[in-house]
């Protein structure tokens, strides 16, 4: 069995979750993440700020900070489950595929399917699968991989193991990858290692974060996640690109995001990353 060399990136949601309390911009994020010792960044459509539509300028700033773009993460007010918004969602996908396509190896990560209106759950899964599969086909044409990032947030369609299995059965594994998130999996179901093994061939990269036994966000290494076991499984996944993306949502991060992600970067050195 071969394993992939590890690289450590940082997700910008740690700052995004502060809402109006964060008054900085994307350059402040790059400064903090590079200063903490990360090699890459996953930035969101909310936090890209004045670099939206300016991939060349963003690329120069990344280079100045010694960072790579791991992935561009996007969401939708439709939750990717509203049939009358499918075409609008795909237009947004096209824009961000064009942006990410300027960065070799970068992916587009699509947020968790979310229930935004009444209706049968099976219909929501059907619409979400259509959006993800069509986005994956657009990504193949653009030369950019597309992956899904399930979440445990309010009204997510992808909370427990059955939800994961249902969606994955509808997705083309060649066109659409998976970004497993350790914290979100643990909040929905305890069988995280079996989940990773069962769907290992879909894994493109990994989101690492931690929760305690009650599902409350915890600093990495302070909760229920068996980080070493997770890395061992993911590292041998056939399509894993080597990126471990740390995303911190704990109370410590809310108090001081830069300090929290700096601590997490040091924590990862215990795992050889």
- Residue 167 belongs to some domain of the structure: yes
How far is the C-alpha of 141 from the C-alpha of 76, rounded, in Å?
22
- Residue 1 belongs to some domain of the structure: no
- Residue 110 belongs to some domain of the structure: yes
- Residue 62 belongs to some domain of the structure: yes
pLDDT digit string, tens, across residues 69-105: 999 999 999 999 999 999 999 999 999 999 999 999 9
Q: How many domains does the chain have?
A: 1
Instruction: Give me the CATH number covering residue 83.
Output: 3.20.20.150
How far is the C-alpha of 231 from the C-alpha of 228, rounded, in Å?
5
- Residue 130 belongs to some domain of the structure: yes
Domain that holds residue 29: 7-271
- Residue 248 belongs to some domain of the structure: yes
pLDDT digit string, tens, across residues 209-252: 999 999 999 999 999 999 999 999 999 999 999 999 999 999 99
pLDDT at 1 over 60: no
- Residue 2 belongs to some domain of the structure: no
pLDDT digit string, tens, across residues 121-166: 999 999 999 999 999 999 999 999 999 999 999 999 999 999 999 9
- Residue 96 belongs to some domain of the structure: yes
């Amino acid at each position: 069995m071969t394993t992939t060399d590890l690289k450590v990136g940082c997700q910008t949601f740690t700052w995004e979750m502060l809402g109006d309390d964060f008054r900085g911009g994307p350059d402040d994020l790059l400064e903090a993440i590079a200063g903490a010792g990360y090699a890459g960044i996953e930035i969101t459509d909310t936090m890209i700020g004045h670099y939206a539509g300016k991939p060349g300028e963003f690329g120069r700033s990344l280079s100045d900070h010694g960072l790579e773009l791991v992935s561009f993460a996007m969401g939708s007010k439709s939750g990717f489950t509203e049939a009358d918004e499918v075409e609008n969602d795909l237009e947004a996908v096209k824009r961000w595929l064009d942006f990410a396509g300027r960065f070799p190896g970068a992916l587009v990560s699509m947020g968790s399917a979310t229930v935004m209106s009444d209706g049968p759950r099976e219909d929501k899964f059907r619409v979400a699968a259509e959006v993800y599969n069509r986005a994956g086909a657009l990504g193949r044409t653009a030369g950019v991989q597309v992956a899904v990032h399930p979440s445990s947030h309010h009204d997510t369609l992808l909370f427990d193991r059955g939800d994961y299995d249902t969606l994955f059965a509808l997705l083309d594994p060649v066109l659409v990858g998976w970004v497993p998130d350790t914290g979100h999996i643990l909040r929905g179901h305890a069988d995280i290692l079996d989940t990773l093994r069962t769907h290992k061939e879909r894994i493109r990269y990994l989101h690492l974060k931690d929760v305690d036994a009650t599902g409350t966000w915890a600093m990495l290494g302070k909760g229920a996640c068996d980080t070493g076991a997770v890395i061992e499984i993911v590292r041998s996944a056939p399509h894993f690109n080597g990126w471990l993306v740390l995303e911190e949502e704990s109370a410590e991060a809310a108090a001081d995001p830069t300090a929290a992600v700096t601590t997490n970067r040091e924590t990862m050195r215990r795992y050889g990353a």
